[in-house]
Amino acid sequence: MPADLANLSEAEAANELMRLAKAIAHHNRLYHAKDAPEITDQEFDALVRRNAAIEAAYPHLVRADSPSKGVGFEISASPLSKVTHEVRMMSLDNAFAAEEVEEWVARVRRFLALAEDAPLGFTAEDKIDGLSCSLRYEHGKLVQAATRGDGQVGENVTANVQHIADIPQQLHGSGHPDVFEVRGEVYMEKQAFTALNAAQSEHGGKLFANPRNAAAGSLRQKDASVTAARPLRFWAHGWGAASAVPGDTQFEVMQQISHWGFPLSRLFQRVESVAGLLDHYRSIGEAREGLPYEIDGVVYKVDRLDYQQRLGFVAKAPRWALAHKFPAERAETTLEAIDIQVGRTGKLTPVGRLAPVLVGGVTVTNVTLHNRDEIARLGVRPGDRIVVQRAGDVIPQVVDNLTRDADRPAFEFPDHCPVCGSEAVAEEGEVDVRCQGGLICHAQQFERLRHFVSRGALDIEGLGEKSIAEFMELGWLANGPGDIFRLHTHRDELIGRDGWQEKSVDNLFAAIEAKRSPDAARLLFGLGIRHVGAVTARDLMKRFHELPLLREMAEQARDGDETAQNELASIDGIGPAVIEALGDFFHEDHNKKVWDDLLSEVSPPPYVVETQASAVSGKTVVFTGKLETMSRDEAKAQAERLGAKSAGSVSAKTDLVVAGPGAGSKLKKAAELGIEVIDEAAWAEIVAAAG
Ligand SMILES: NC(=O)c1ccc[n+]([C@@H]2O[C@H](COP(=O)([O-])OP(=O)(O)OC[C@H]3O[C@@H](n4cnc5c(N)ncnc54)[C@H](O)[C@@H]3O)[C@@H](O)[C@H]2O)c1
Ligand SMILES: [Zn+2]
């Protein structure tokens, strides 16, 4: 079950499914029946995805009126007459990531019981943003045109399509099947859409949100002469009812449809493999901007019709087709609330809660607003329409505020901590507002403990957020991290609490005991002193070896001792901010108490970095781009162990650059300077070779 569903009770799930069914039906009506959507496609798609995820986790809760079952919207209210489709009109399943496409192909192969190397061909073409239309030909003559409607019953638009030049009234050639229903997309080109909206606005007519809505609104007219005045186009992408099918593959039949006089996509192609699909997806993605019409993805179809037959349908889409959509990197949504989170150092971080929206192929519900200044810069307030961006692996950002009415008051950033109520202020020259409550602030206490046991710090297995919160609640961690090593005194009490058995309790205590002699640098990092990250902690410990010596230096430096100041400043990577932060830390009585208490429980052995002889000993290494198998900190620690120095930027002193995907300017610089560049795998080999 996806993590965000793990906390959903069955009753809540049922409730949410009900609300989603209502909301989705509402937006389907606005979109399909009124051609006037109220929310963006990305917001709508997020609702659909949420619904699908809950249904997958609770299959027995799927409703009779589940939105995952239906297509479009029922058209009983339409002024046009109704047409019952002989063969249902479907939707398409969709995917955003290449892996999802690979999974789909694997599923198809499994379903057909094809050997891994058995040939499996596809067609691939762009997914045009229009509305589906069914065109029924009897003995080669157009007798009926219909919209998709709810898939079963559509609207009769026979009179309307007479004015669309791309649609032949009579099929070209001869020997046509008795019945053949061509299906495809009625659409409006981008330029025509812009011109139409300009003309509409001139005489106060209805404006359309996008070319798709414009095409739908233009076709679905009671008065066909209105349709005639609109520049509509059509291309074919399939068929429905047919007394005879002219071919054995999707490709062959589409060629025949083309010979009968229909335009097809110029990007329609046969493709032999998954790699071919993904290639075509990329090239269509590149062509997208320059196309005269809007597309939102690429449609793949299994080519062989006997395979299509066997694969059949699920719910509302064929198993043999897939829409591989282009993830929108930017999307519009509503900022519903601004919550304030309190971090380990007391920093108040504003988090935007969003109406869920699909951005970059994932559903985004939260977005960091960074700090008070950023909120002011964006001028955002709860209720505003905003633009969210998420490109690649970058965390989502708010890039624009669309609600610009100056009348509404600006968001008031809190001047008190929402958790402990202490004053919250920004120090001079700082953008961050911090809670002044120190350790009386439960939020800070919690975050500090969480940081202390985290992977980069003491790495205590089994002591997660939930347990920390529980133990804090019980008052067992009131003295700070030292208390962790005294948790065993509560053994009897803990066993028998909800979720704790003798075994899990003893496992936890064993994990804690295993850290009685922790790595000094990790311990130092775990204390969460400002500016002392994992690398800085190691740099410091490499020089001082023992924590008490470090403290002595830091205290002396703060008292103005120049020798101590110089000693600290002479360490590579240690600047005035670190020296000041260390001094401040040890100046606080409270911190001294926590420190002494902790060191009465644990005894880190003297810190020595044993360096291994390696291919990079004595060299300077720079890591850049995204590392896939380890964190940046871990990579730097490895470099140190191998006797190399890791630096943050590329210069003439750099010997080696390790670059992951997305490496940018550093890579360019390395090339300019002629510095050797290797990838993460090659780095791993160097590490392995050193033993
Ligand atoms: N904003 C809103 O309020 C709102 C409400 C409802 C639906 N929508 C949007 O409508 C879409 C969902 O509609 P849908 O169920 O029709 O799914 P869909 O449009 O994603 O895919 C199915 C349709 O794609 C069309 N298509 C285009 N090119 C094709 C090709 N080459 N081969 C085959 N089919 C092709 C067909 O007409 C088919 O019916 C989503 O994008 C959704 O965001 C938005
Ligand atoms: Zn606080």
Task: Point out the ligand 1 atom lying closest to the alpha carbon of residue 71.
Answer: 15
**Per-residue confidence (pLDDT) for residue 524, from 0 to 100:** 96
d(CA 521, CA 519): 6
**Per-residue confidence (pLDDT) for residue 333, from 0 to 100:** 96
**Per-residue confidence (pLDDT) for residue 388, from 0 to 100:** 96
| Cα-only R_g, the chain | 32
Please check whether residue 554 is in contact with residue 582, taking contact to mean a CB–CB distance below 8 angstroms: yes
- Assign a CATH topology to domain 3-69: Helix Hairpins (1.10.287)
Torsion (CA) 93, 98, 99, 100 in degrees, nearest 10? 0
Please check whether residue 621 is in contact with residue 686, taking contact to mean a CB–CB distance below 8 angstroms: no
Residue 421 CA to ligand 2 centre (angstroms):
6
Q: Judge: domain 438-513, CATH 1.10.150.20.
A: yes
Q: Would you say 385 is a known binding-site residue? A: no
Enumerate residues 6+ apart whose C-beta is below 8 A from 571: 539, 540, 542, 543
d(CA 119, CA 108): 12
- Strand-pair partners of 678: 658
d(CA 55, CA 64): 12
The string of pLDDT tens digits covering residues 218-257 is 999 999 999 999 999 999 999 999 999 999 999 999 999 9
Task: Point out the ligand 1 atom lying closest to the alpha carbon of residue 45.
Answer: 43
User: 435-455 b/e with 16+ CB inside 10 Å = b?
Assistant: bebbbebbbbbbbbbbbbbbe
d(CA 497, CA 508): 14
Q: Is the pLDDT of residue 94 over 70?
A: yes
Q: Would you say 428 is a known binding-site residue? A: no
- Assign a CATH topology to domain 330-426: OB fold (Dihydrolipoamide Acetyltransferase, E2P) (2.40.50)
**Per-residue confidence (pLDDT) for residue 3, from 0 to 100:** 60
The string of pLDDT tens digits covering residues 499-553 is 899 999 999 999 999 999 999 999 999 999 989 999 899 999 999 999 999 999 9
Enumerate residues 6+ apart whose C-beta is below 8 A from 302: 108, 120, 121, 122, 250, 308, 311, 320, 321
Q: Give the N- to C-terminal CA distance of the chain in Å, as an integer.
A: 40
What distances in angstroms separate CA 582 from CA 288, 427, 480, 528, 555, one per listed residue? 55, 18, 18, 11, 8
Q: Among 127, 266, 326, which is best to mutate for testing ligand 1, by the most ligand atoms less than 8 A from CB?
A: 127
- Determine how β-strand 141-147 pairs with β-strand 362-368: unpaired
**Exposed (0-12), middle (13-18) or buried (19+): which is 488, by Cβ within 10 Å?**
middle
Residue 422 CA to ligand 2 centre (angstroms):
6
- Minimum CA distance residue for ligand 1 atom 40: 41
Q: Which member of 22, 34, 69, 127 is catalytic?
A: 127
Please check whether residue 280 is in contact with residue 271, taking contact to mean a CB–CB distance below 8 angstroms: yes
Closest ligand to the CA of 437: 2
Neighbouring C-beta atoms of residue 89, cutoff 10 Å: 24
**Per-residue confidence (pLDDT) for residue 614, from 0 to 100:** 84
**Per-residue confidence (pLDDT) for residue 664, from 0 to 100:** 79
CATH superfamily of 520-601: 5' to 3' exonuclease, C-terminal subdomain (1.10.150.20)
Task: List, by residue range, all CATH 3.40.50.10190 domains of the chain.
Answer: 620-689
Task: List, by residue range, all CATH 1.10.287.610 domains of the chain.
Answer: 3-69
Q: Would you say 417 is a known binding-site residue? A: yes
Q: Would you say 420 is a known binding-site residue? A: yes
d(CA 13, CA 530): 42
**Per-residue confidence (pLDDT) for residue 622, from 0 to 100:** 92
**Per-residue confidence (pLDDT) for residue 1, from 0 to 100:** 59
Ligand 1 is surrounded, with C-beta below 6 A, by 27-28, 30-31, 37, 39-41, 44-45, 71, 91-92, 94, 125, 127-128, 132, 148, 185, 237-238, 299, 323
- Residue type at 575 in one-letter notation: G
Q: What is the pTM of this model?
A: 0.74
Q: Among 40, 51, 68, 185, which is best to mutate for testing ligand 1, by the most ligand atoms less than 8 A from CB?
A: 185
d(CA 429, CA 373): 12
Architecture of the domain delimited by 620-689: 3-Layer(aba) Sandwich (3.40)
Q: Would you say 41 is a known binding-site residue? A: yes
C-alpha 129, offset from chain centre: 23
Please check whether residue 335 is in contact with residue 348, taking contact to mean a CB–CB distance below 8 angstroms: no
d(CA 400, CA 513): 50
Enumerate residues 6+ apart whose C-beta is below 8 A from 380: 335, 338, 352, 369, 386, 398, 401, 411
pLDDT band (50, 70, 90) for residue 190: very high
Please check whether residue 311 is in contact with residue 318, taking contact to mean a CB–CB distance below 8 angstroms: yes
The string of pLDDT tens digits covering residues 335-344 is 999 999 999 8
- Report, in this order, helix, strand and coil percent for the chain, each rounded to 5: 40, 20, 40
Task: Point out the ligand 1 atom lying closest to the alpha carbon of residue 42.
Answer: 43
Question: Among 273, 271, 309, 316, which Cα is nearest to 111's?
Answer: 309
Q: Would you say 45 is a known binding-site residue? A: yes
Strands (E), 402-535: 424-426, 433-435
Residue 615 CA to ligand 2 centre (angstroms):
49
For 84-325, CATH gives 3.30.470.30
Closest ligand to the CA of 423: 2
Neighbouring C-beta atoms of residue 225, cutoff 10 Å: 10
Task: List, by residue range, all CATH 1.10.150.20 domains of the chain.
Answer: 438-513, 520-601
d(CA 211, CA 234): 13
Task: Point out the ligand 1 atom lying closest to the alpha carbon of residue 43.
Answer: 1
Please check whether residue 369 is in contact with residue 76, taking contact to mean a CB–CB distance below 8 angstroms: no
- The whole-number average pLDDT for the span 94-114 is 94
The string of pLDDT tens digits covering residues 371-407 is 999 999 999 999 999 999 987 777 899 999 999 777 8
d(CA 399, CA 390): 10
- Minimum CA distance residue for ligand 1 atom 31: 127
Residue 132 CA to ligand 1 centre (angstroms):
8
Task: Point out the ligand 1 atom lying closest to the alpha carbon of residue 317.
Answer: 22
Closest ligand to the CA of 326: 1
Q: Among 27, 28, 31, which is best to mutate for testing ligand 1, by the most ligand atoms less than 8 A from CB?
A: 31
d(CA 118, CA 121): 10
d(CA 276, CA 369): 41
Q: Specify whether 34 is catalytic.
A: no
269's enclosing H/E stretch is strand 269-271
d(CA 11, CA 396): 31
